[in-house]
Amino acid sequence: MDGLKIKTKEKVILYTLLIVMLILSVGPFLWLLSTSLKSPNENLFKFPPDLLPKEPTVDSWVTVIKTIPFFTYFKNSILVALIQVVVNVVFSALAAYPLARMKFRGKKLIFTGILSTMMIPFQVTMIPIFVLVSKLKITNSYVGVILPFAVTAFGIFLLRQAFLTIPVSIEEAAYIDGCNSFQIWYKVLLPLIKPSIATLAIFTFVNSWGDFLWPLLVLKDKTKYTLPLGIQDLQGTFATDWRLVAAGAVLSMIPIIVFFIATQRYFIEGATSGGVKE
Amino acid sequence: MKQIMNLTEALNKRNKKTKLKLHNIYTPYLYLIPALIIIGTFVFYPLIRVIIYSFQSYNIFTEAQWVGTENYMKIFKDKNFYSALKNTILYFITVVPVLVIAPMFLAILVNQKLKGIKFFRAAYYLPVITSMVVAGIAWKWIYADSGLLNYFLVNVLHIMKEPISWLNSPSTALFSVMVVTIWKGLGYYMVIYLAGLQAIPEDIWEAAEIDGASGLKKHVTITVPMLAPSMAIVAVMSSMAAMKVFDEIFIMTSGGPYNSTKTVVFYLYEHAFENLNLGYASAVGVVLFLILLVFSLASIKLSERNA
């Protein structure tokens, strides 16, 4: 940690900086919130604008919920994100196990191969992936949204690092107790790397929640849209009324903020184990 | 004594045996199969495929036909490609330096022992967890003619006389979108620097203070050099992200006005999914991949030399 004693004068400067940055990072959301609470009687396009609503009302929120299938989008987003988390955790944990704990032919080659995929951006390969998904007839389905990202090099790397920190003696003890390799993985090792699994789960969830381009390409039915697609669509539907667009955007933020508050402490752990401390 | 040694030897032998017996030779591959199938199908196979497509004329409805290097020839003759490349490079040289430097100072700031610092940290992370769609909408509304930015510049600071249509004029649109990319990335890279900061032992600062270094000087002379490894990571990550920028552009400007915010990935997207010119777009993808490859190899070399 930094600084032993912080003087009052320094404190004033530090808090000023902190507050300026706070306004910059949260301000855009507050402006959106303020707009969504303005009543239809207020002119949104007058200049200079009113910073706060004169007669605050949640009418726009209600209208959005009534006119667009907001809860369907919400449910779809949750469903996609949760499945994405489960498959990523399971496949990464399975693959990371032998890479961390076993000796076998081709191990180095396989691990390097997996890591090298970090240098192949999705934007480069998305055309063949799209063609493949079309040929497999899984467009317009969540399988098509989820499958191409069901496991990533990041996830395998993160969990491999976690497995590496567990002493071999624990594994050997379990073996002597009669566990086979799958039981060792499932009953002994997985519980020991829970923090890393949580980190992977949270990162996967946030990524999936905000994912835009790929679901846009795959999903055609509006009833299957996830929240980002639904909110983007809202911009076309309510092009003339920014109150409603703002209300939709604000509403769609509530779940992820709740999620973030609940899981906050894992975010910094993720960044630490993701690279720097390697 | 000899007995004990024999015993240890025997135990060692047994240990070696158990290690061998922990799994048979096929077991490791069984665990790897699901991951390898997915990565093979959705990363390596498409990479080979995109190279093949790039030499073909192909839309999804008809059979692909070989056209040799025609797609590449067309790319290098298209002035729209050069304009997209120029925009990507502009994006890169503006966004990357800011995202390497600013989050570092932000991390130093939130690493101070102050009351409520956890709240500030969390608040700075908020833009990161928000989807780009919501961020794009929020900023569109800030950039609007009657938006906050114009209000601030015209009525509060009196820098400008008239409001500007930030996203609708070719001279300001690209820059305005860059600001959103920076704004959304700050918190993410801040956390990476924060992790780096927390790995620095505390006594270094104590020693510096005894030596009379304080405040900003202490950070410039001691903290910043110690953060070099984190800086390399942030540089690589933000560079890759800048070269691939798409979502914010699609959401905020759709490449306009007058192509002024069209980047290489946007150009690729248009040719692939609006014109359904998959062969041509694949060639663009290959060119992008080569640029990124040269780039990431160069930055790995650089960071190895610095480390």
Residue B246 pLDDT greater than 60, yes or no: yes
Same domain, yes or no, for B97 and B229?
yes
Contact status of B23 with chain A (Cβ, < 8 Å): yes
Same domain, yes or no, for A1 and A74?
no
Q: What is the pLDDT of residue B98?
A: 97
Range of the domain at A19: 1-57
Q: How many domains does chain B have?
A: 2
Size of interface A-B (CB pairs under 8 A): 297
Would the CB atoms of B114 and A11 count as touching at under 8 Å? yes
pLDDT band at A91 (very low <50, low <70, confident <90, very high): very high
Whole-number Å distance between alpha carbons of B70 and B72: 5
Same domain, yes or no, for B158 and B9?
no
Instruction: Give the chain A residue nearest B195 (alpha carbons).
Output: A272
**A135 to chain B, closest Cα gap in Å:** 10
Which of A48, A147, A276 has its CB closest to that of B195?
A: A276
Same domain, yes or no, for B101 and B248?
yes
Q: How many domains does chain A have?
A: 2
Give me A110's structure tokens.
């396989």
Would the CB atoms of B18 and A172 count as touching at under 8 Å? yes
Q: DSSP labels for chain B?
A: -HHHHHHHHHHHHHHHHHHHHTS-TTHHHHHHHHHHHHHIIIIIHHHHHHHHHTTEE--TTS--EE-TTHHHHHHHH-HHHHHHHHHHHHHHHHHHHHHHHHHHHHHHHHTB--TTHHHHHHHHHHHHHS-HHHHHHHHHHHHSTTSHHHIIIIIIS---SS---TTTSTTTHHHHHHHHHHHHHHHHHHHHHHHHHHTS-THHHHHHHHTT--HHHHIIIIIHHHTHHHHHHHHHHHHHHHHT--HHHHHHTTT-STTTT--HHHHHHIIIIIS--HHHHHHHHHHHHHHHHHHHHHHHHHHHHH-
**B302 to chain A, closest Cα gap in Å:** 16
Q: What is the pLDDT of residue B197?
A: 87
Residues of chain A contacting residue B113, judged by C-beta atoms under 8 Å apart = 1-3, 6
Instruction: Give the chain A residue nearest B200 (alpha carbons).
Output: A1
**B61 to chain A, closest Cα gap in Å:** 10
Q: Which of A101-105, B285-289, B291-295 has the highest mean pLDDT?
A: B285-289
Residues of chain A contacting residue B286, judged by C-beta atoms under 8 Å apart = 124
Give me A4's structure tokens.
């032993």
Same domain, yes or no, for A169 and A132?
yes
**How many Cβ atoms from other residues are within 10 Å of residue B196's Cβ?**
25
Residue A83 pLDDT greater than 50, yes or no: yes
Q: What is the pLDDT of residue A9?
A: 83
Q: What mean pLDDT do residues B277-305 have?
A: 87
Q: What mean pLDDT do residues A72-83 have?
A: 96
Same domain, yes or no, for B166 and B302?
yes
Task: Please write the tens of the pLDDT for every residue from B151-169.
Answer: 999 988 988 888 899 999 9
Place of tokens 């928000």: B130
Would the CB atoms of B191 and A267 count as touching at under 8 Å? yes
Same domain, yes or no, for B90 and B43?
no
Assigned domain for B277 exists: yes
Query: What CATH number corresponds to the domain at position B229?
Result: 1.10.3720.10
Same domain, yes or no, for A40 and A102?
no
Which of B28, B206, B247 has its CB closest to that of A102?
A: B28
- Give the long-range contacts of residues B221-227, CB within 8 A, separation 24 or more: B223/B108, B223/B197, B224/B104, B226/B196, B226/B200, B227/B104, B227/B193, B227/B196, B227/B197, B227/B200
Lowest mean pLDDT, pick from A203-212, A231-240, B17-26, B291-300: B17-26
Residues of chain B contacting residue A207, judged by C-beta atoms under 8 Å apart = none
Give me A120's structure tokens.
């192949």
Would the CB atoms of B50 and A27 count as touching at under 8 Å? no
Same domain, yes or no, for B107 and B237?
yes
Instruction: Give the chain B residue nearest A255 (alpha carbons).
Output: B130
Same domain, yes or no, for B86 and B47?
no
Q: Are A13 and B113 in contact (CB under 8 A)?
A: no
Same domain, yes or no, for B89 and B12?
no
Which of A25, A119, A276 has its CB closest to that of B196?
A: A276
* CB-count burial class (<10 Å; 0-12, 13-18, 19+) for A36: buried
Mean pLDDT of chain A: 89
Contact status of B247 with chain A (Cβ, < 8 Å): yes
Would the CB atoms of A123 and B246 count as touching at under 8 Å? yes
Residues of chain B contacting residue A173, judged by C-beta atoms under 8 Å apart = none
Query: What CATH number corresponds to the domain at position A107?
Result: 1.10.3720.10
Assigned domain for A63 exists: no
Task: Please write the tens of the pLDDT for every residue from B49-108.
Answer: 999 999 999 987 788 899 999 999 999 999 999 999 999 999 999 999 999 999 999 999
Same domain, yes or no, for A198 and A137?
yes
Instruction: Give the chain B residue nearest A152 (alpha carbons).
Output: B39
Same domain, yes or no, for A37 and A75?
no
Task: Please write the tens of the pLDDT for every residue from A212-247.
Answer: 999 999 999 999 999 999 999 988 877 778 899 999
Range of the domain at B41: 2-53
Assigned domain for B68 exists: no
pLDDT band at A268 (very low <50, low <70, confident <90, very high): low
Whole-number Å distance between alpha carbons of A270 and A276: 10
Same domain, yes or no, for B149 and B201?
yes
**B50 to chain A, closest Cα gap in Å:** 6
Q: What is the pLDDT of residue A226?
A: 96
Q: Which helix (DSSP H) or strand (DSSP E) does residue A235 occupy? A: helix A227-237
Same domain, yes or no, for A150 and A203?
yes
B293 vs A5, residue with greater confidence:
B293
Residue A257 pLDDT greater than 60, yes or no: yes
Q: What is the pLDDT of residue A29?
A: 95
Residues of chain A contacting residue B38, judged by C-beta atoms under 8 Å apart = 91, 147-148, 150-151
Assigned domain for B10 exists: yes
Same domain, yes or no, for B88 and B184?
yes
Same domain, yes or no, for B42 and B81?
no
Residues of chain A contacting residue B194, judged by C-beta atoms under 8 Å apart = 268, 271
C-alpha A27: how far from chain center: 22
Task: Please write the tens of the pLDDT for every residue from B212-245.
Answer: 766 667 777 788 888 888 898 898 889 889 999 9
Contact status of B112 with chain A (Cβ, < 8 Å): yes
Assigned domain for B60 exists: no
CA of A10: how far to CAs of A5, A13, B218, B220, B222, in Å? 10, 5, 14, 17, 19
Task: Please write the tens of the pLDDT for every residue from A13-29.
Answer: 999 999 999 999 999 99
**A162 to chain B, closest Cα gap in Å:** 17
Which of A28, A151, A206 has its CB closest to that of B35?
A: A151
Assigned domain for B257 exists: yes
Residues of chain A above pLDDT 90, percent: 65
A46 vs B262, residue with greater confidence:
B262
Residues of chain B contacting residue A209, judged by C-beta atoms under 8 Å apart = 129, 131
Residues of chain B contacting residue A178, judged by C-beta atoms under 8 Å apart = none
Residue A198 pLDDT greater than 80, yes or no: yes
Per DSSP, the three-state class of A55 is coil
**B171 to chain A, closest Cα gap in Å:** 23
ipTM confidence score: 0.88
Residue B271 pLDDT greater than 80, yes or no: yes
Residues of chain A contacting residue B27, judged by C-beta atoms under 8 Å apart = 98, 102, 181
Residues of chain A contacting residue B274, judged by C-beta atoms under 8 Å apart = none
Assigned domain for B154 exists: yes
Task: Please write the tens of the pLDDT for every residue from A102-161.
Answer: 989 999 999 999 999 988 999 999 999 999 999 999 999 999 999 999 999 999 999 999
Q: What is the pLDDT of residue B199?
A: 80
pTM of the predicted structure, to 2 decimals? 0.88
Residue A272 pLDDT greater than 80, yes or no: no
Instruction: Give the chain A residue nearest B223 (alpha carbons).
Output: A2
Q: What is the pLDDT of residue A46?
A: 80
Torsion angle defined by CA atoms of residues A86, A91, A92 and A98, in that order, rounded to the nearest 10 degrees: 150
Assigned domain for B70 exists: no
Residues of chain B above pLDDT 90, percent: 57
Mean pLDDT of chain B: 87
Residues 6+ apart with CB under 8 A from B283: B53, B54, B55, B71, B72, B74, B75
Contact status of B284 with chain A (Cβ, < 8 Å): no
Same domain, yes or no, for B138 and B29?
no
Which residues 125-164 of B have a C-beta within 8 angstroms of A? 125-135, 137-139, 141-142, 144-148, 150-151, 154-155, 163
Which of A35, A129, A147 has its CB closest to that of B46?
A: A129
Residue B265 pLDDT greater than 70, yes or no: yes
Same domain, yes or no, for A120 and A37?
no
Same domain, yes or no, for A170 and A267?
yes
Instruction: Give the chain A residue nearest B250 (alpha carbons).
Output: A213
Kindly give the pairing relationship between strand B56-57 and strand B65-66. antiparallel
